[in-house]
Chains A and B, each alone.
Chain A
Amino acid sequence: MAEKKIVFMVDKLPYKGETSRLALTHAIASQTVEIHLEDDDLLVPVLVFSGKGVLNCLKNQKALETYKVTSLENHVKNALLLDLKVMYCAEDVKKFGLTEDMIVMDAADIGGDVTAEIVPFDDILGEISSATHVMYF
């Protein structure tokens, strides 16, 4: 059995470009990758938001009304619904004056069980160190 971890690291702003959206859709695609793998193979995704990337996770985004596109908030919720490990850089959350109640921490309203974590950057470095591959978006 082979287990490989991929860290999807997002540090770009939402909506200014497409990058953070693609990070989320690629991370979520990890849930269907098994059709391409051997039975015992396992891909473990970790979704990390750092720098300006933490702004992707703000609550009450009006993307549908403004741009007629799905919000990044919804994508983060979908990631949590699919049990992806989601981490926010604590230093950057603090730097932007954000608190837990301002960002998506769970997807309980759509049936999710997993909770996001706000962690020091050192913990994120730990995830990166133990990853097979890092995708920096």
Chain B
Amino acid sequence: MGKLTIGCFSSLVGSMTLDFSVKLAKAAMDKGHSVDMWLSGNGTTLSKTGQRSFQDYSSLQKTVEELVAKGMTLVACEACAEARGLHKEDFMPGCGRKSMDWYLASCFHADRVIHIGGE
């Protein structure tokens, strides 16, 4: 089985790009692949705990927590998060905080990289 690294820079809500990324991660994991997901820029908003689900907005926290529990590595850019007021205590359980070199190393070791830049 392979390793997929997904980098996503688009925001939670306001864009469906994170939804696509999470669906892709789930599909890959369901096939037995391992997945690293890197959140940077506005993408770090996915790391926030306490997301409230409304029918008019996509909701990702529950799915992401399930994927993390199954072994997905979820890491947000610490600087991007802090700049947005997302501190360590604001993160959902299981979501790491690292610097950009972690993402590059993950890409180095990945069989495939899907990098989705910001809007």
Residues of A within 8 A of B (CB): 2, 4, 6, 12, 17-19, 22-23, 25-26, 29-30, 32-33, 35-37, 41, 43, 133-137
- Which one of A17, A19, A37 contacts B105 once the chains associate, using CB atoms below 8 Å? A37
- Which one of B40, B42, B101, B115 contacts A133 once the chains associate, using CB atoms below 8 Å? B115
What is the CA–CA distance of A126 and B56 in the complex, to the nearest angstrom?
A: 45
Q: Which of A26, A30, A133, A137 has the most CB of B within 10 A?
A: A26
Q: What residues of chain A lie closer than 8 Å to B72, measured between beta carbons?
A: none
Q: What residues of chain B lie closer than 8 Å to A43, measured between beta carbons?
A: 104-105, 108
Q: What residues of chain A lie closer than 8 Å to B42, measured between beta carbons?
A: 18
- List 7 tightest A-B contacts by C-beta distance, closest first: A36-B105, A29-B100, A19-B118, A137-B117, A135-B115, A33-B101, A33-B104
Q: What residues of chain A lie closer than 8 Å to B117, measured between beta carbons?
A: 12, 19, 22-23, 135-137
